Amino acid sequence: MTRWIAHFAVAALSLPAVAAPLAAGDYALWLAPVDGGAPLLEHRADAAMNPASTMKLVTSWAALQTLGPNYRWRTRFVSAAPIESGVLKGDLAWIGGGEPRFRDGDLIAMLRELRRRGVREIAGNLVLDGSTFSRVAPAADFNGDAERVFTIPPDAHLTNLKVAWLQFFHDGAGPRAALDPALPGVTLDARLVDGGELPCGDVRGHVAIRHDDARVEVTGRLPRGCDGAQTYLNLLSARDFAGQSFAALWRELGGAGPRAAVSGAAPAGAAVLAERESAPLTAVLADVNKHSNNTMARAVYLTLGRGPGDTPANAERAVRQSLAEAGIADEALVLENGSGLSRRERVSARLLGEVLRHAARGPWYAEFAASLPIAGEDGTLQKRLKDWGPRLRLKTGTLADARALAGYYQAGDGRRYALVALVNGQSAASSNGAIDALVAEALARLPR
C-alpha cells in the first residue's frame, strides 16, 4: 500500500496533458482519505491561495461546529405600548435576527400574527433594531457588479434578499409594469409601447431600466410574448427596503400606519407581539453551498460573531477558535467576509482539506456533505464532471482570477476521499475545463 501511495503521488503530479494549461505556480492540489493518513497527492498544498467560493466550506463547517445543524434565526416584533381599540398606541420595534432567507411570506405571516393580536393601526414609528450585527461592510464592487444580487451584503433586517421584482404584463389592458412589493417610497414610471409578436427571451433586451432609490423608469417596446415576464432590481438600503416592505404589505392586509420607519433600539422589557423562527441552519447551508449564495454565506459568517462588539472580528475569532479546537493550523487563512467573494481572502489547499477531513469524521458529516453540489446533477456542478455522478460532491469557486473545487469522492471500494484544487492568477481565467480535467485525472486513479 505504501509503495502504491508513493507511485500515485508521483504519477498524479506529472499529468502533462491535464496540467499543461495551468502554470505550476498557479495551482494547488491536495487529495487524502478522510479516515486519516498522509495525503496521496500534494502540490503547493501550503500556499496561501484565493479560494473563491470554496471559502464557504470553512464558514459552513465552523457554523455547524459552533451553532449546530438545528440553529434557527429569530425575528420579533415587540412593543412597550398598549393596544387600545385596535390601535397600538406607540412604536413597534422590529428586532432583526439576520436571517439569511427571510422573505415576503415570512413578513406577511408576522403581520397576520400582529393582526390576530388585535392590532389594526400602528400609531407610532416602526423602529428597526439591527443590533444583531454591527460594522457590516457594504457591497463590494466586482467589475461594476455592485448592484448585482450576488454582491448584496447581509443585514439584520434583510428581506427578500433586498430584491424587488419588476413584473411585465401585456394583455387586453396593453403593455405595463408593476413593482412587487409596491414599495411606497419608490415611484414607478413605465412608458411602454406594443412590441408586437416578437419572441420575448430576456425581457431586458426589449426595455431600458433606469433607477435610483426613489424612482424606477422603464421605457421600450414590450412584445406580447413578455406577458408575465419579470426581472429583479436591487433597490434601497436593506433597512429602507425592510421598512418600505413592511408598510406595503401591512397596508395590503388593511393595516394603518406606522408613521415612519426609523433605526433604533427596542425598549427593554417590551412585549413580544409576533415572532418567527427560520428554517434550520442545514437548509440555509444548502443554498450557501449548492447555489453559492454569497449574501447567505456572509450572514452565516456574521452569525458566528453575533452579540456585543465588532461582529466581523467576533466571527473571525469564532472560525479560528473552531480550527484550533480541531487541531488545524490556520497560518494561511485570511478572512474578510467568509463567502469567498473577496480579493483578500486566502486559504491553503491543506487547510481546506483538513476541514473536509474533520467534518467527515464529525457528527454533522451527513448534513455538511448534503449541502454540496452533486457532480452533473445539481447546483453549480449541474453541467460539470457529469461522468462522476452522486459519489462526487464538490463546492465550486469562481472569480476572475480564481477557480476552485473542493469536496468529497467515494471510491468504488467505499472509501471516502477529500479533494481540493485551487487555481489563481492568469491560469484561472479559462481554467474550468483544465481544473475539471485535473480533478477527473486524479480521481481516475482511485478505485472506480
- Distance, in Å, from the CA atom of 443 to the CA atom of 448, rounded to the nearest integer, reads 8
pLDDT in tens, 312-368: 999 999 999 999 999 999 999 999 999 999 999 999 999 999 999 999 999 999 999
pLDDT of 81 strictly over 70:
yes
- Number of neighbours of residue 23 by Cβ within 10 angstroms: 13
- Helix or strand or coil: residue 448? coil
Question: How many whole angstroms separate alpha carbon 128 and alpha carbon 283?
Answer: 26
Task: Write down the pLDDT at residue 1.
Answer: 30
Q: Residues 443, 419: contact at Cβ < 8 Å? A: yes
- Any long-range contacts for 430-436 (C-beta under 8 Å, 24+ apart)? 430/21, 431/21, 431/22, 431/27, 431/403, 432/384, 432/398, 432/403, 433/21, 434/18, 434/19, 434/21, 434/22, 435/22, 435/27, 435/403, 435/404, 435/405, 436/384, 436/385, 436/405
Cα–Cα distance, 66 to 62 (Å, whole number) = 6
Query: Which residues have CB under 8 Å from 99's CB, separation 6+?
Result: 73, 74, 75, 106, 158, 278, 299
Contact (Cβ atoms closer than 8 angstroms) between residue 233 and residue 166: yes
Q: Which residues contact 144 (CB under 8 A, 6 or more apart)?
A: none
User: Euclidean distance between the first and final Cα of the chain, in Å?
Assistant: 17
DSSP state of 266: P
* CA neighbor of 2 nearest in space, from 32, 40, 42, 36: 40
What gap in Å lies between CA 1 and CA 33, rounded to an integer?
13
Query: How far apart (Å, rounded) are the C-alpha atoms in residues 180 and 139?
Result: 23
C-alpha cell at 322: 473552531
The DSSP bridge pattern shows strands 92-95 and 207-211 to be: unpaired
Look at residue 355 in the predicted model and tell me its pLDDT.
99
Residue 145, pLDDT above cutoff 60? no
Q: Phi, psi at residue 404, to the nearest 5°?
A: -155, 150
Give the model's confidence band at 2: pLDDT under 50 very low, under 70 low, under 90 confident, else very high: very low
Give the model's pLDDT for residue 138.
72
The one-letter amino acid code at 229 reads A
Neighbours of 447 (CB within 10 A): 8
Tell me, yes or no, if the pTM score tops 0.85: yes
- Cell 398606541 belongs to 89
Q: pLDDT for 35-62, tens place per residue?
A: 999 999 999 999 999 999 999 999 999 9
- Domains in the chain, start-ordered, CATH in brackets? 2-70+281-444 (3.40.710.10), 74-142+237-277 (3.50.80.20), 160-234 (no CATH)
Mean pLDDT on 92-97: 98
Give the pLDDT confidence score for residue 434 in this predicted structure.
85
Q: Give Dmax over CA atoms of the chain in angstroms.
A: 83
User: Residue 283: how many CB atoms within 10 A of its CB?
Assistant: 16
Over residues 174-199, the pLDDT tens digits come to: 999 999 999 999 999 999 999 999 99
| Residue 150: predicted pLDDT | 77
What is the average pLDDT across 114-123?
A: 98
Burial 238-262 (b: 16+ CB within 10 A, else e): bbbbbbbbbbbbbeeeebebbeebe
The whole-number pLDDT of residue 9 equals: 37
CB 206 within 8 A of CB 221: yes
Where residue 428 falls among pLDDT bands split at 50, 70, 90? confident
Residues 66/302, Cβ–Cβ less than 8 Å: no
Would the pLDDT of 141 be above 90? no
**Closest to 29 in 3D by CA, of 11, 13, 52, 10:** 13
Cell matching residue 263: 433605526
Grid cell, residue 320, equals 479560528
